[in-house]
Amino acid sequence: MSAFMLLQTTFYHTYLADISPLISGRATMGSDSCNWHSDLDYDQWVALPVTGPRPSSRYKHTAGIINEKLYIVGGSRNGRYLSDVQALDLRNLIWSTIKLKPQSDPDNKKDGKLLEAFPATSGHSMVKWGNKLLLLGGHSKNTSDTVAVRFIDLESHVSGLIETTGKTPVARGGQSVTLIGSKLIMFGGEDKNRRLLNDVHVLDLETMIWNVAETTRTPPAPRFDHTAAVHGDRYLQIFGGCSHSTFFSDLHVLDLETLEWSQPQIQGNIVSPRAGHAGVSIDEKWFIVGGGDNKSGALETLVLDMATLVLSILTSVEKKDPLASEGLTISSTLVDDEQFLIAFGGYNGTYNNEVFAMKTKPKDSKHPKIFKSSAAAAAAASVTAAYALAKSEDLTAVDNSKSKVDLSVEIGVVKEEKKVLESSLAWVKAEKSTLKSKLDEVNETHVDLSKELHSVQGQLAAEKSRCANLEAQISELQAMMSSMESVEQKVEALRSQKAVNVPSSAGSWRWMAP
């Protein structure tokens, strides 16, 4: 067998091995933690088999993924604020604790004493800026009057305060913080006096100067524990959250160029109000997980198309699942060119510390997984090299072999496209069936309402006739009363005449006397 034919056979077997999970259906989680991402199905949550000392269970912490590590900072548990920093290496799923060092410059001193590296905090926000994690706001035992901005250096693990100037916002927790270019957009929250906020503040990270955004039109109701995302580097979108008595499921949009608020109508699925949920945006998709209303957790994982404002339910979990929690976090990361969501923590009657992962469908899912596989890419490269080497021996044979290989690949592509189309068709049929059921329900409701309307109209007609009869009787009674007045006058006249004609008693006695 020639070198080219050997490599062609290798490519063919590699191709079959690579698409076999697609053909067989659902893949299972392998035992190799380093390859945990290779066996996941799309749009399904899977608990990851992590090792090492796990972080304590918590909620209202912050999380972010930097350089294939998931960082967890602070949070709350049993009414106690936490100050620890934990890191999960997503390459081998091993937890470790990050020991922070306090900043030694004058900005990190009070009364001549060095401040702690990171105070126990809950309900704060975190973003990555350069090689640092920036932590803003949150509630702690010694909350200052204004929002504090802290940093954690990911290389030296030094942590401390960053001095800011300008119109610094009042201290708060449960706010949203969104990074756009070099600016942080902070919205809402609850201050240390439990006053609810709906203001917008902007921090320029290059100058560390705060400014107030003077918005127009109707802003969202004051709230906290909502989530926020930015679409097209222009539109800040706010979803859900709560006041002290109300939970929201509304969507508000702030145009960051005109600073005008609007409240567009969400299309698609209608979902329950929620607060304490987590969200992360990837391209034009905004993934929203968890939350609740203090009575029950939200079971759905939602995805909002930020361009069309169509909201869909991606998947659902059972009641009391850790993903149906308030105060959990969600982050996104790329592993082998595929996008994953990573969720951690939360509270749903029980504090959680499990790690869950979901592989999201790519924006263009027409091409099968083989073209993103490193093994298939290596085999394809080998075939190309063999083709170049064998060209001088037998061009015709090589061309024919290459055509066969290309044909097998194209057949695989067509099969995968067929599967995608069949899946889409099944989804459309399911949606059509759901819409038909809703339409039938609406029609039945319309029939019932029509019957009720006719009944009410009949009752109104009967009442109208009764009112007309009563009016006629009232007229008759009024006429009778008028006639009675004239009768009374005649009676009085007769009484007066009678009184005049009756003789006096004295005259009568005189006439009878002898």
Q: What's the mean per-residue pLDDT of the chain?
A: 82
The pLDDT score that the predictor gives to residue 429 is 74
Assign 3-class secondary structure to 201-257.
EEEECCCCEEEECCCECCCCCCCECCEEEEECCCEEEEECCECCCCECCCEEEEECC
pLDDT reading at 4 higher than 70:
no
418: pLDDT confidence band, cut at 50, 70 and 90? confident
Spatial separation of the C-alpha atoms in residues 441 and 436, rounded to whole Å: 8
Is residue 36 scored above 50 in pLDDT?
A: yes
Give me the pLDDT at residue 292, please: 97
pLDDT given at position 177: 98
pLDDT score, position 424: 62
- Count of CB atoms within 10 A of residue 217's CB? 12
Cβ atoms of 234 and 255 closer than 8 Å? yes
User: 410 pLDDT band (50/70/90 cuts)?
Assistant: low
Is residue 134 over pLDDT 70?
yes
Residue 8 confidence (pLDDT): 44
Q: Which of 60-69, 395-404, 454-463 has the lowest mean pLDDT?
A: 395-404
- Write out the DSSP string of 239-304: E--B-SS-B---EEEEETTTTEEE-PPPEE------BS-EEEEETTEEEEE--B-SSSB--EEEEE
Note the pLDDT of residue 150. 97
Q: Which of 146-150, 151-155, 337-341, 495-499 has the lowest mean pLDDT?
A: 495-499
**Residues in CB range of 20: below 8 A, 6 or more apart:** none
Per residue in 189-226, pLDDT (tens digit) is 999 999 999 999 999 999 999 999 999 999 999 999 99
Higher pLDDT, 474 or 70: 70
- pLDDT of 465: 80
Residue 181, classed as helix, strand or coil, is coil
Q: What is the pLDDT of residues 343-402, one digit of tens each?
A: 999 999 999 999 999 999 987 544 433 333 333 343 333 333 333 334 344 434 434 444
Three-class SS of residue 186?
strand
What confidence tens digit (pLDDT) does each residue in 275-304 have? 999 999 999 999 999 999 999 999 999 999
pLDDT tens-digit map of 6-31 = 444 443 344 333 433 333 333 335 45
Write down the pTM of the prediction.
0.66
- Condensed to tens digits (0 to 9), the pLDDT of residues 312-336 reads 999 999 999 999 999 999 999 999 8
CA distance linking residue 12 with residue 149, whole number of Å: 56
Mean pLDDT lowest for which of 38-42, 55-59, 67-71, 354-358?
38-42
Report the percentage of the chain scoring pLDDT > 90.
59
pLDDT of residue 435: 73
Is pLDDT of 41 > 50?
Answer: yes
User: Tell me, what's the pLDDT at 109?
Assistant: 56
Q: Which of 109-123, 126-140, 312-326 has the lowest mean pLDDT?
A: 109-123
* pLDDT at residue 108, rounded to an integer: 55
Mean pLDDT of 468-486: 82
pLDDT-derived band at 500 (thresholds 50, 70, 90) equals low
Measured distance CA(417)–CA(362) in Å, rounded: 14
The amino acid occupying position 404 is K
pLDDT confidence of residue 490: 81
Instruction: Tell me what pLDDT residue 459 has.
Output: 80
Are β-strands 300-305 and 285-289 bridged in parallel, bridged antiparallel, or unpaired?
antiparallel
